[in-house]
Amino acid sequence: MEQQELEPEKKKRKTAFKKTANWASLIRNFATIVASFISAITLFILIRQNERTYQPDLVLSPDPKIFHVVFKDTISSCGDLRIVVEEDSTSEDLNLRLTNLGLGAAKNLLIEWEYDPGRLDDTVAIGSFRIPTHATYNEEVQVLLFKSCFMKEAKAETVEYCLPFNAEKDPTLISLPINYVRMWSNLAIRIGLNREIRRKQRIDLLEQLSASFQDLECRVHYFDINGRAYHKSYFVRLLPHFIDLRNSVMVLGVGLVEQGAEKRIRQEHRFTVYEPDASFSESVIEW
C-alpha cells in the first residue's frame, strides 16, 4: 500500500527534475549562444582595429610649390621653353610628394595621369578666340612635337611602397607629366604674346586657362599589407603668379584639389602680367 502511494510521488519528482534539467540546458544553450555572439562581435572589432592599425592614408602635396618657365618669343625647339626648378640646377623635374598619414605602409602604388592633349594642341579655342600654339601632340606615340624636337613620356608610373610619415627616411616623389606642363605653359605664353588680343581680353583668357580650361587628373591606386585596395584622385592645377613679357619668364605654382573632398574652402589666387611697355595688369583667380 505504501509502495503504491510512493510511486506517484517519485514520478512527480522525476518529472520536475526533468523540467528543471531541460530549463537548465536551455539556459546553458542560450548563454552559449550569447557568449558566441559576443565573441564574434569582439573578433569583428579586433579585425577592424587591426585593419585600421595597418591602414595607409596617402595625401599629395606639390614639391616644389613654385617654379619658373623661361621662354623665347618663337618656340621652335625644346630648349626655347625651359622649366627651371632651382636656379643652380638644370633639372626640369616637377614632383608631387606622397605623404602617408596612416599607421600602415602602402604598397604596389600605381599612379595614372589623365588629360586631353587635344585641348592643348596646335590651335586652341578658348571662348571666341583661336590661339596657335606652334606645337603638336601625337596621341598614338604620346609625343609632344615642336618644330625641331620632340618629347616622349609615359602617362603612368609605379612605386613599390610608401611608409608612414613618422617612419619615412626619404620622401616619396612622383613626377608631374612634363609634357602637360610644357603644353600648358606654351599656351599661356602664346596668349600673353598675342598682340591681336587686347590686354583685358588676354587677362580674361589667362583666367579661363588657369581656373577652368583643363586640369591634370592624378589617380593613385595602392594596397595595404593585408592586400586591401585603396584609391584616391586629385585635380592638379597650374596657377600663374606672374608673367613677365619683358624678360620672357613666368612664375607658376601648383594647386591640388582632392576629388570628393567635402566642404572644400575655395581659394583666391592673385597673379600679375608685366607688359613690354613696363605697365602691368593684375587679376584674381578663384579655385
pTM: predicted TM-score of the whole model, two decimal places: 0.77
Residue where one domain finishes, among candidates 53, 73, 94 = 53
Q: Are residues 76 and 41 in the same domain?
A: no
Q: Are residues 81 and 11 in the same domain?
A: no
Q: Are residues 134 and 267 in the same domain?
A: yes
Residues of the chain with pLDDT under 50: 2, 46
Q: Are residues 21 and 122 in the same domain?
A: no
Q: What is the pLDDT of residue 134?
A: 79
The residue among 136, 271, 96, 255 whose CA lies nearest residue 192 is: 271
Q: Phi first, then psi: give them for residue 266, nearest 5 degrees.
A: -70, 145
Number of domains in the chain: 2
The residue among 154, 198, 203, 204 whose CA lies nearest residue 176 is: 154
Residue where one domain finishes, among candidates 53, 72, 91 = 53
CA distance 170 to 58: 15
Q: What is the pLDDT of residue 5?
A: 53
Task: Specify the DSSP element, H or E, that contains 239.
Answer: strand 229-244
Please write the tens of the pLDDT for every residue from 176-214: 988 889 889 988 998 988 888 888 888 999 988 888 788
Q: Which residues pair with 231 in a beta bridge?
A: 221
Q: Are residues 91 and 123 in the same domain?
A: yes
Sheet (strand 95-100) strand order: 58-63, 95-100, 172-175
Q: Are residues 38 and 169 in the same domain?
A: no
For 138, other C-beta atoms within 10 Å of its C-beta total: 13
Q: What is the pLDDT of residue 46?
A: 46
Please write the tens of the pLDDT for every residue from 79-112: 888 888 876 555 678 899 999 998 889 999 999 9
Q: Are residues 94 and 236 in the same domain?
A: yes
Q: Are residues 49 and 145 in the same domain?
A: no
CB within 8 Å of 96: residues ≥ 6 apart = 60, 61, 62, 63, 173, 174, 176, 218, 236, 254, 256
Q: Are residues 44 and 72 in the same domain?
A: no
Q: What is the pLDDT of residue 56?
A: 92
Q: Are residues 49 and 176 in the same domain?
A: no
Q: Are residues 69 and 193 in the same domain?
A: yes
Domain limits at 29? 1-53
Residue where one domain finishes, among candidates 13, 31, 53 = 53
Q: Phi first, then psi: give them for residue 12, nearest 5 degrees.
A: -60, -45
